[in-house]
Structure 1
Amino acid sequence: MTASHAPDEAGGQQPETGLRADAERNRDRLLAAARRLFARAGLGVSMASVAREAGVGKATLSRRFASREELINAVFADRMDAYAAAATAALADPDPWHGFTGYIHAVCAMQAADRGFADVLTMTFPAAKALEARRAEAYHGFLQLIGRAKDSGHLRSDFTSQDLVILLMANAGVVSATGDAAPDTGRRLVAHVLRSYATPGTPLPPLPDAPAPTALYRAMVRLGRSGTP
């Protein structure tokens, strides 16, 4: 009797196991597709486009990710971990001004590397609890960086945490507008802004070269063709 039941039990388990494996493969394909599209075009990409890129139907996408925010939370979880870790690393720097500027450079470089992440840092997603928790962690670390840099005498006393949000918004716009045409433009913007944050006499790194006129022209043509940043 035991032997005669074994095939039935195995047969009953196989489809369930297969369904779980299919579901996991579809989830991985959707995440990979969303990462590619968000990095290339920002968060304005539609959910239908993500499903098409992954080669699945919209119903499959809805089963794996019930909302857009749930998908964004999954796609950018590792990047938000790196964002929070950047603040921790900066706080460990014995030079408060170097830690502060290093954090700014690191975060803006993350934006430049991924257009979707550039958008994430300038938006809020209340339903994406894990993502917002990491954002809050990074923010509290940044408040400590501000205090240390001011105490060192190198950061202007009128600098506020809102100034970082303004910089991230500006950098996101530059990243979006220039794309591959003039990819280093944001580095010059950040360097100029950091100079405005510094008190007189503060040591500053060299200003990166300005983008070539032809590169900026290509970026302007690209921006004109797209109609939006």
Structure 2
Amino acid sequence: MSRIITFARETGTRCHVVHLSSGKAAELISDARETAPITVETCSHYLLLDEDDLVRIGPKARCGPPLRPRETINLLWDHLLDGSIDMLASDHCPHLPEAKAVGEESIWKAGMGLTGIQTTVPLLFSEGVVKCGLPLHEFARLTAAAPAQIFGLYPKKGTVAPGSDADLVFYDAGEEWTIRGADFPGVAKWTPFEGTGCTGRVVRTMVRGTQVFRAGSIMVEAGYGRFQRAVA
């Protein structure tokens, strides 16, 4: 990490660090912000799952970087809560269940990566906002504003303002529910968070002002979404 920071500082080239799983690296990045153009993301599994969970869950928890000790997770939470981490990413890898199941024989055969696109933001709401007191404006920064700013999509995306796309997510902040891979749309019906209880559930979603999801149902035809290309 020190080398990356040095390159960013010496060249002035913007650098974005993905899949942060090290408390020490988070500290180095935090200390370098005033002198180097560097931003950083982490993932929900690095905030919630540890090495003991890898043993418990097995191949469904194989990812890269690997899961870390609980002490490292606590350090990452410290940096997330003090604003040192810019954004949250899913690192979604939709392997078929059988691609993970082969890891029961040898974990090295299991497909690398975890499903995360459906659980990342709700888990941050439940574990961060509800349990750890993460302010709602920080929740919005980590999941919407900062990603749009870092990848050149702001202010079209990432904010609620005149001229911006009306992309909105509505939560029932008190609803309690349980993560089940069988409930996922698509073919990757598995999750390392199987059976995890959450507080706060997405009940409605709007994209460009159109309701696309409500009460568990998709409200638009396939193809309504638009690919968003990052701008350097």
TM-score over 0.5 for the alignment? no
User: Which has the greater radius of gyration?
Assistant: 1
How does the TM-score come out when normalised to structure 1?
0.26
Structure with larger RCO (C-alpha < 8 A, sep 6+): 1
How does the TM-score come out when normalised to structure 2?
0.26
